[in-house]
Structure 1
Amino acid sequence: MQLKRVVVTGLGALTPIGNNIQEYWDALISGKSGAAPITYYDTEKHKTKFACEVKNFNIEEFIDRKEARRMDKFAQYAIVAGEQAIADAGISDSNVNKQRVGVIWGAGIGGLETFQEEVLSYASGDGTPRFNPFFIPKMIADIAPAHISMRNGFMGPNYTTVSACASSANAMIDAFNYIRLGMCDVIVSGGSEAAVTIAGMGGFNSMQALSTRNDSPETASRPFDANRDGFVLGEGAGALVFEEYEHAKARGAKIYCEVGGGGMSSDAYHLTAPHPEGIGVIAVMENTLRDAGMKPEDVDHINTHGTSTPLGDVAELKAISHVFGDHAKTININSTKSMTGHLLGAAGAIEAIASILAMKHGIVPPTINHSTVDENIDPSLNLTLNVPQKREIKVAMSNTFGFGGHNACVLFKKIEE
């Protein structure tokens, strides 16, 4: 069977450092941190008092108030980013067969704020189970792509992938496979998350996963730095329109890049910690290269998972050195989580977008907040520290890993007509 080519024709982003693609890209290149004191609730008794919140966002600019109240924030974010990507791709009733357009989305947690509010409300009452009739449809993780589908009449595959922080990368790989197998023409893919809540922050704090650098939130996310002390929780959404190449050409669509391949693996090691030698990460990158029919020396740029955790950063870089050998020293490696924080299930999507934009503009965004060399990290690796670097990028990889040992990697390449 001849596999079809898959390209990216639309992008949308709602992030802690920008509420659309242009704002997001400008912030990435300027090295802007999205971390700041939390505004959603009183943090007095919390260990971590800051996060990367979406800013200057009013859902009523996009959705009617009554409709918005029936949605958790993670679904609201999905709709906004999804509509941006659909508009960017120029999809309309006249140029697609909506029965062959799907929505495959990623969310690691889903409607956490809704769940928290409903349970707290019940607990504060007299024991009578009074719940909002929209409690379940607001909370469930699959509801975000359902909203995008219903708003646009897309009748193809519609579901959510849940693999913790790898969720949206898994969604993109599924979208890629459906299209290259000829089962769809277009799929809106990506992910969203809205876990900056009392339960979300409290839960990650109890695992000692979050940075507690309350005196300097903007410098707290510091991947690869010797003094990193955990990740910074972020929120938002990223959306990409994947499309069959000939279909995109036929309707005159703008093409950002080609999707070269995707890989998955499992650490099979620990609930939350990565394998110290990065065995699962080695496997996922090798699987991706094999799927794309490429050699290690073909890769120019890797946007790492790079969460700013003591164990994770070292294991991932060890894996990169193992897979790419001497060529690893010539690759521009970075972590945009240094600016956006960790968007959990949406991380893969916004980082894939960053990789695609780096390829388009010939500039690699920096890994900010680095000041102290970690003796456990190979000093010959180019981690794109603190300032952006210009270079031609023909092939870029985006790594995303999740609690439970879920590993996913997506490879993008410049389009060859």
Structure 2
Amino acid sequence: MERVVITGMGLISPLGNEVESFWNQLVRGESGISRIDTFDTSRHKTQIAGIVRNFDPDAHFGRKEARRMDRFVQFAVAAAEQAVSDSGLVLDQIDRERMGVYVGSGIGGIQTLLEQKDILNSRGPERVSPTLVPMMISNMAAAMISIRFGALGPTLSPVTACSIGNTAIGEAMRVIRLGLADVIIAGGSEAAVNEISLASFSNATALSTRNEEPARASRPFDTERDGFVMAEGAGIVVLESLSHAIRRNARIHAEVIGYGSSSDAYHIVATHPEGAGALQAMKLALADAKLAPEQVDVISAHATSTDIGDKSETKAIKKLFGEHAYRIPVTANKSMTGHMLGAAGGVEAIALVKSLQEGIIPPTINLEQPDPECDLDYVPNTAREVKARIGLSNSFGFGGHNAVIVLKAYSS
């Protein structure tokens, strides 16, 4: 089977709109959470989110093209452009029938739907845009990336809620391993910070209401956590077979060596309290990578800053790794980015690649009073220099979807 490597990375996030600025802020322990100023939150219990700033779609795409894309598609295409540029791919020199796209979104173009519903109510059916449906459907991020780069190979839009990024990377890895594609652009995108999503999550008591201290609101594993913080963005990587990357003398960021997926089969929103599905996915990922638990150097946790979620993930890690669990640094990027939903896995994969490259583990910020049931080494508040070769990244989603990937520092 083919080995699979990451040759390109791109992202749009509340911590910056390209990889280096994002990484620098992550390592410094800076928060991307702020008060929402994109719509009126005066009647909302939660008034904070991880908002993408300084992203001008009209300047990036041109006004006409930008208006044909929902915000989640704009993010995905912009991140994919970065990733392809970073990869050094020369499109005219590769077989684009063997180039695919695996990019998904959990919620898709909900903002476009809301805007067109308002037009329907106020101006009548004659004024509803004929592009409503193609703008809002979740597969349009993958479709637009495919169109952008002339990718004629396997193209898929996985919808596994907040585990989408890892699902996309893992499933794409399998396709390349089997020799069915040479290159796949993979990841996730989300732009769902709006009135109705905020109201729904808030009424489900899932969101933090620490409105006066936005930067301190997302606090995984801390006793004072009171829910997750919604965020938006996109995280995209270019995956290639090692043989293809070597043939074109590509720079290789890391290798994808394992993938595991499972279902909790438990509840539509609540994670299994004992972390059964998370444990199964991690086991499968390590088995796929042909690794013993003791060989893992760092874990990028899903860690959304919810009571049951943080506890169940900690339980799953301890069940799988035993005593070694207490020796593995576990980092929670969402303490700084917020929860980017379908974009989270892709962005966190990029952060993990940077950790393997730079030998630095980003901190879990706001961890001031650790939950007694969350007693692992979460790299509290300050980044740590650690020489790491193998990292495991967890992503879990509503409905019980679990997806775990294993990354390795590349060596020939």
Does TM, normalized by the shorter one, top 0.5?
A: yes
Q: Is residue 281 from structure 1 mapped to residue 292 from structure 2 by the alignment?
A: no
Deviation of residue 123 (structure 1)? 2.8
Say if 2:11 and 2:79, in contact at 8 Å, map to a contact too: yes
Q: Given residue 295 of structure 2, which amino acid in structure 1 is its aligned partner?
A: D
Aligned partners of 1:188, 1:265: CA distance in 2, in Å? Answer: 23
1:9/1:254 contact within 8 Å kept: yes
Indicate the SS of the match to 2:101: strand
> What SS is found at the alignment partner of 1:165?
helix
Superimposed CA distance per residue, residues 145-189 of structure 1 (whole angstroms, 9 cap, x where no aligned partner): 111111111111112100110112111111101100000000000
2:157, 2:91 → 1: CA distance?
24
Residue 122 (structure 1) aligns with = 120
- Aligned partner of 2:151 in structure 1 is 154
- Are the aligned partners of 1:221 and 1:308 in contact in 2 as well (CA < 8 Å)? yes
Measure the CA separation in 2 of the matches of 1:265 and 1:12: 27
* Match 2:393 to one of 377, 391, 398: 398
Q: CA deviation at 1:125?
A: 4.5
Q: Give percent identity, aligned residues only.
A: 46
Question: 1:95: Cα distance to partner?
Answer: 3.1
Give 3-state SS (helix, strand or coil) of 1:108's partner: coil
The letter for the 2-side match of 1:223 is: P
Deviation at 1:93, TM superposition (A): 2.5
Conserved 8 A contact 1:95-1:251: no
SS of 2:93's equivalent in the other structure is: coil
State the partner residue of 2:15.
Answer: 17
Are the aligned partners of 1:34 and 1:340 in contact in 2 as well (CA < 8 Å)?
yes
Structure 1 match to 2:340: 343
| Matches of 2:261 and 2:119, distance apart in 1 | 40
In 1, distance between residues paired with 2:37 and 2:64?
A: 24
Whether the aligned pair in 2 keeps the contact of 1:107 and 1:141 (CA below 8 Å) is: yes
Residue correspondence of structure 1 range 324-343 to structure 2 within 5 A: 324-343=321-340
Q: Distance in 2 between matches of 1:413 and 1:95?
A: 28
Distance 1:402 1:294 in 2: 25
Please give the secondary structure, in 2, of the residue aligned with 1:277: coil
Write the letter of the residue equivalent to 2:348. E
Residue 17 of structure 2 aligns to a residue in which SS? coil
Q: Report which stretch shifted further, 91-100 or 135-144.
A: 91-100
- Taking the TM superposition and a 5 Å limit, the aligned residue runs for 1:233-244 are 233-244=230-241
Q: How many residues align?
A: 412
1:107 aligns with 2:105: yes
1:311 and 2:308 correspond: yes
Q: 1:198-224 deviations in whole A, cap 9, x for unaligned?
A: 111111111111101111111000000
Alpha carbons of 1:163 and 1:129: their partners in 2 closer, same or farther (altered >3 Å)?
farther
Superposition RMSD on alpha carbons, in Å? 1.0
User: 1:322 — aligned with what?
Assistant: 319
Deviates more, 1:130-139 or 1:295-304: 130-139
Task: Report the Cα distance in structure 1 between the residues aligned to 2:23 and 2:234, rounded to whole angstroms.
Answer: 14
* 1:170 aligns to 2:167 (yes or no): yes
After superposition, where does 1:173-192 map in structure 2 within 5 Å?
A: 173-192=170-189
Q: TM-score, normalised by structure 2?
A: 0.98
Q: Is the CA contact (8 Å cut-off) linking 1:358 and 1:364 kept in structure 2?
A: yes
Question: Which deviates the most, 112-121 or 350-359?
Answer: 112-121
SS of residue paired to 1:208: coil
The aligned residue for residue 223 of structure 1 is 220
Tell me by how many angstroms 1:230 deviates: 0.5
Distance change in 2, residues 1:123/1:370 (3 Å): same
> How far did residue 129 of structure 1 move?
5.8
Whose helix fraction is larger, Structure 1's or Structure 2's?
2
Confirm or deny: 8 A CA contact 1:15 1:24 kept in the other structure: yes
Structure 1: gaps (5+ residues): none
Specify the alignment match of 1:413 in structure 2.
408
| Cα distance between partner residues in 1 of 2:289 and 2:126 | 52
Amino acid at match of 1:267: D
What is the aligned counterpart of 2:378 among 380, 383, 390? 383
Counterpart position of 2:47: 49
1:353-368 to 2 correspondences below 5 Å? 353-368=350-365
List gaps (5 residues or longer) in structure 2.
Answer: none
Code of the aligned partner of 2:378: L
